[in-house]
Amino acid sequence: MTADAIALDPGAGLRAVIDLRRARRRRRIGDQAWGDMAYRAYTTGLAALVAVVFLSGLVGDSVLDAAGRADLAATAPSWFGLVAAVILLVGFRSGSRGGPLAMEAPDVQHMLLAPVDRSLVLRRPAVWILAYGVLGGVLVGGLVGSLVDQRIGEALLGWIASGALFGAAAVALALAAAMVTSARFVPSWLPVGLGWVFVAWAVADVVGEGPTAPTTYLGRVALWPLGFSAVSALPLVAALGLAAVGLAVVGRVSVEQARRRTALVGQLRFAVTQRDLRTVVLRRRQLAAERPRARHWFPAPPRWFGRRFPVLARDLQSVARWPLVRVLRVAVLGTLAGLAARGVWAGTTPLLVAGGLAVYLAALDATEPLAQDIDHPALLGSAPVPEGLVMVRHLAEPVIVMLAAGVVGVAAAWAVEPDPEVLRVGALCLVPAALAGVAGAAITVVSDAVLDESQEAVMPPEVAGPRLLFRTVWPPLVAVLGFLPVLVARNAAGTGDPVAAAGTAAIPLLLLVGVVMLWVRFRADIHASIAEAGMGGTR
Amino acid sequence: MSGRRSTRREEPDELPALRVLGLTKHYGDVVALAELDLVVPEGEAVVLVGHNGSGKSTLLSMVGGVLEPTDGQVVVHGEANDTLRARALRSWIPDNPVLYDDLSVREHLEYVNRMHGGTGDGPEIDDLIERLGLSGREDGLPSQFSRGLRQKTALAVGLCRPFALLLIDEPFVGLDASGRLALLELIEEVRDNGATVVVATHDPEVIDRFDRGIMLADGELVHDGAATDLHDLLSADDRHAG
């Protein structure tokens, strides 16, 4: 057909889009397994109830006195503001990657390429995602409000309403920020940078430095029952305004990013349902367009080194090609771990968990070469040595990387308050923390995804449930255990030598790391022996 | 001719079906397509060849509107590539069929045809179903089809709507002999009706069906001339690779 013969009728195209969606929705409702849905709703409700009871227990129910209330009114808004800033940063990051919408691939192919105004095509899904997000914010915010009421009393409805309003506004701001960012008015690094500025400002506000952060005003909404201020209503107006702008510009989304996102988000969701952390890490990196560098950060190891230690030489080359963002991420996680350890040393014991998780996440990046070999079992199997031996040799590189990240962490901890004792304790504690982080990450990487465990399907739920919980919790727990020497050193600080105490506490941890290494080395042999014994038994 | 830039000239009054100006695509440090200029007159049938990674799919995806150029621009019948008019004029069929799991062949054709201003039914659609060997399967779900049948469905979806520029990426992969023949006939037919066709393929047997041949290597244009010249170039290239 010639170009002149083709007429443009966007109205008819939009009607076709609407009819197509309606037809698919009808079909989905018809195909829905309502029993499954009811069961899912039941289990979700049960889990929510358990979470509420657990959180209520944590919060306690002793009512705050006047001084406690004054302290809450003074400090809580900045903490709520920090939460809002982090949610906002997530929104900016999502938008820079084409979010928050994750369309189906055929929708991108057929609807976004059709001669129909994309704003009209995308507005409805955008409204839905905004509505669902705000509903989630209302529920979580309302729950937090009710927990606050436990300690304050007197105005349950008021606390629930203000908490819900805060949750709704924070989520709406984040989703709207994502929509505006994905509209590509400015380069995507700019809004993400702005998000980090908000977070840094909110952190500064929490520690009492600098002027009041904008997100702290939003945080005050959650505490309205203690005192209403008209200024704190401004972020609510901003959330509404930004949501309106986001919905207006949603059609400016990049088709390329929408297309890339549609495939990766689907796989990411599936991997999450399977607790397949390796796939989650991979897809997340793809979504963030993290690619190895063409140029090395440092020269390749000499040939003799490569011949003597081929696995380590290959792994170091992998590190040499890390993208800048991964280098920064590991450095930031190392810094966070160091600051968390400093917090534990200063008396805030729960920061142990935060430090352990930071080390675990960094170690997941550091164990990438091992993960790649496991992703290609044929390659791993072709090595002229047992697979387990290759896997253990792969752990040398993450240990080096994590020790380097640990040095960054110790430097950060020392920078907070220069104290020679912090340096001495830190230098000792970074070794078990780094090794435990690598051990935890190695367990995650070497363990199969739940999907691959055929025996999972035939296990009774009483066994499968706790087993699944153990598999999910154990690897990060190993990394958290790596921070115990800091706790022991703190307790010994007043009465004895903290370095010696930390050293003593590190011994069982090093044994644990050794057991994990042995497990990695002989895991395949153990599984083969079990399988052989099982087959012999059935004959 | 050989060279990086096209030397074809258009008549002053003639609006080309496709004009590519300084089109470039980089993925970080990797150059998927180096700066490319190209003019395709209305009604021409162009075959695009090159080894894996040569930039064929990248070029078609950018012209198809799903990849954003790092630099340069694509103009379809005088329209910037992302306007409603350009989207109405251009039909891009990717190498991997992209179809709804829960829509039948006929529903696909109906809705896509309607999105482009058609009525969603009619003898043209029935004819397309028959010629691509999908008769009897029009109410089936492509998600339950073989690769070849899904490919035929994707071709039908791309052809069921009005277009003036047809872009097809690796259309012969997975097609049986009859499907391949039917597709070649359909391409010839749409061209006879005035549409411009650009097909990327690895198949040397179909090259002679096209007027013009373009060869890419490592993201650069290495040949732009008569399609028949590609035989010698491809043989020489294969010998070199071997």
Q: What DSSP line would sit under A213-265, residue for residue?
A: PHHHHHHHHTTGGG---GGGGHHHHHHHHHHHHHHHHGGG--HHHHHHHHHHH
pLDDT for B214 equals: 95
Phi, psi of A382 (to 5 degrees): -85, -5
From chain A, pick out residues whose CB is under 8 angstroms from the CB of B77. Answer: 3
Confidence of residue B7 (pLDDT cuts 50, 70, 90): very low
Cβ-Cβ pairs closer than 8 A, A with B, add up to 111
**Among residues A454, A327, A438, which one has the least CA distance to residue A391?**
A438
pLDDT for B146 equals: 92
What range does the domain containing B45 cover?
A: 18-96+146-241
Mean pLDDT across A482-511:
90
Confidence of residue B10 (pLDDT cuts 50, 70, 90): very low
Distance CA A478, CA A487 (A): 15
What range does the domain containing A222 cover?
A: 64-273
A178 vs A456: which has the higher pLDDT: A178
A257 shares its domain with A133: yes
pLDDT for A495 equals: 83
The full length of chain B comes to 242
Chain B residue with CA closest to A254: the answer is B68
Q: State the residue for tokens 């829905």.
A: A32
A310 shares its domain with A232: no
A401 shares its domain with A461: yes
Tens of pLDDT, residues B88-111: 999 999 999 999 989 999 999 999
SS3 content of chain B, % helix, strand, coil (to 5): 35, 25, 40
**Among residues B131, B128, B174, B168, which one has the least CA distance to residue B149?**
B174
Chain B residue with CA closest to A25: the answer is B102
Hey, is A349 helix, strand or coil? Answer: coil
Distance CA A512, CA A436 (A): 8
Residue B150 maps to a domain: yes
Lowest mean pLDDT among A528-532, B48-52, B58-62, B65-69: A528-532
For chain B, how many structural domains are there in total? 1
Q: Which amino acid is at A66?
A: A
Hey, is B133 helix, strand or coil? Answer: coil
From chain A, pick out residues whose CB is under 8 angstroms from the CB of B19. Answer: none
Substitution target in B116, B155, B186 with the highest count of A β-carbons within 10 Å is B116
From chain B, pick out residues whose CB is under 8 angstroms from the CB of A1. Answer: 162-164, 190, 193-195
Hey, is A132 helix, strand or coil? Answer: helix
pLDDT for A32 equals: 67
Distance CA A289, CA A489 (A): 42
pLDDT for A539 equals: 40
Q: Write out the two tokens for B122.
A: 């009619």
Minimal C-alpha gap between A106 and chain B (Å)? 5
CB-based contact, B160 to chain A, within 8 Å = no
Say if the Cβ atoms of A294 and B157 lie within 8 Å.
no
Residue A367 maps to a domain: yes
Distance CA A293, CA A318 (A): 10
> What number of other Cβ atoms are within 10 A of residue B131's Cβ?
20
User: Do the Cβ atoms of A305 and A377 come closer than 8 Å?
Assistant: no
Mean pLDDT across A457-475:
69
User: Do the Cβ atoms of A439 and A478 come closer than 8 Å?
Assistant: yes
Mean pLDDT across A33-46:
75
User: Do the Cβ atoms of B132 and B78 come closer than 8 Å?
Assistant: no
User: Do the Cβ atoms of A79 and A205 come closer than 8 Å?
Assistant: no
Tens of pLDDT, residues B145-154: 999 999 999 9
User: Do the Cβ atoms of B60 and B93 come closer than 8 Å?
Assistant: no
Residue A22 maps to a domain: no
User: Do the Cβ atoms of B59 and B31 come closer than 8 Å?
Assistant: no
User: Do the Cβ atoms of B210 and B227 come closer than 8 Å?
Assistant: yes
Q: Write out the two tokens for A256.
A: 């390329």
pLDDT for A58 equals: 65
pLDDT for B3 equals: 36
Confidence of residue A466 (pLDDT cuts 50, 70, 90): low
Q: Which amino acid is at A515?
A: V
Say if the Cβ atoms of B100 and A106 lie within 8 Å.
yes
Distance CA A82, CA A173 (A): 14
CB-based contact, B69 to chain A, within 8 Å = no
**Among residues A103, A130, A125, A120, which one has the least CA distance to residue A256?**
A103
H/E stretch holding A408 reads helix A396-416
Chain B residue with CA closest to A14: the answer is B115
Q: What's the mean per-residue pLDDT of chain B?
A: 89
Distance CA B32, CA B72 (A): 14
Q: Which of residues 66-105 of A touch B (CB under 8 A)?
A: 104-105
Mean pLDDT across A463-470:
68
Lowest mean pLDDT among A253-262, A295-304, A375-384, B206-215: A375-384
Substitution target in B68, B101, B108, B115 with the highest count of A β-carbons within 10 Å is B115
Q: Which of residues 249-288 of A touch B (CB under 8 A)?
A: 254-256, 259
From chain A, pick out residues whose CB is under 8 angstroms from the CB of B193. Answer: 1-2
Confidence of residue A274 (pLDDT cuts 50, 70, 90): low
Distance CA A154, CA A121 (A): 47
Residue B90 maps to a domain: yes
CATH number assigned to the domain comprising residue B69 = 3.40.50.300
For chain A, how many structural domains are there in total? 2
Tens of pLDDT, residues A140-173: 999 888 888 877 777 888 999 999 999 999 999 9
User: Do the Cβ atoms of B200 and B48 come closer than 8 Å?
Assistant: yes
From chain B, pick out residues whose CB is under 8 angstroms from the CB of A113. Answer: 64-66, 87, 92
CB-based contact, A18 to chain B, within 8 Å = no
**Among residues A469, A536, A482, which one has the least CA distance to residue A353?**
A482
Residue B155 maps to a domain: yes
User: Do the Cβ atoms of A510 and A399 come closer than 8 Å?
Assistant: no
From chain A, pick out residues whose CB is under 8 angstroms from the CB of B115. Answer: 13, 16-17, 20, 110-111, 114-116
CB-based contact, A11 to chain B, within 8 Å = no
The answer on pLDDT for A535 being more than 70 is no
Say if the Cβ atoms of B116 and A114 lie within 8 Å.
yes
- Please tell me the pTM assigned to this model: 0.73
Minimal C-alpha gap between B221 and chain A (Å)? 24
Say if the Cβ atoms of B112 and A114 lie within 8 Å.
yes
B7 vs A231: which has the higher pLDDT: A231
Residue A288 maps to a domain: no
Q: Which amino acid is at A500?
A: A
Q: Write out the two tokens for B209.
A: 């069906």
Residue B109 maps to a domain: no
Distance CA B177, CA B182 (A): 9
From chain A, pick out residues whose CB is under 8 angstroms from the CB of B29. Answer: 293-295
Confidence of residue A335 (pLDDT cuts 50, 70, 90): very high
Distance CA A108, CA B67 (A): 12
Phi, psi of A260 (to 5 degrees): -65, -40
pLDDT for A334 equals: 94
A485 shares its domain with A355: yes
A269 shares its domain with A329: no
Confidence of residue A527 (pLDDT cuts 50, 70, 90): confident
pLDDT-above-90 percentage for chain A: 46
A351 shares its domain with A254: no
A290 vs A193: which has the higher pLDDT: A193
CB-based contact, B164 to chain A, within 8 Å = yes
Confidence of residue A451 (pLDDT cuts 50, 70, 90): very low
Confidence of residue A71 (pLDDT cuts 50, 70, 90): confident
A450 vs A297: which has the higher pLDDT: A297
Which range of A124-128, A231-235, A282-286 scores highest in mean pLDDT? It is: A124-128
pLDDT for A273 equals: 64
Tens of pLDDT, residues A119-148: 999 999 999 999 999 999 999 999 888 888
Confidence of residue A460 (pLDDT cuts 50, 70, 90): low
User: Do the Cβ atoms of B17 and A3 come closer than 8 Å?
Assistant: yes
DSSP for residue A301: P
Residue A448 maps to a domain: yes
Distance CA A232, CA A301 (A): 58
Q: Which amino acid is at A421?
A: E
Say if the Cβ atoms of B115 and A13 lie within 8 Å.
yes
pLDDT for B4 equals: 38
Chain A residue with CA closest to B76: the answer is A3
CB-based contact, A16 to chain B, within 8 Å = yes
**Among residues B140, B161, B162, which one has the least CA distance to residue B150?**
B140
> What number of other Cβ atoms are within 10 A of residue A61's Cβ?
9
Say if the Cβ atoms of A3 and B89 lie within 8 Å.
yes
The answer on pLDDT for B133 being more than 80 is yes
Say if the Cβ atoms of A113 and B163 lie within 8 Å.
no
A80 vs B242: which has the higher pLDDT: A80
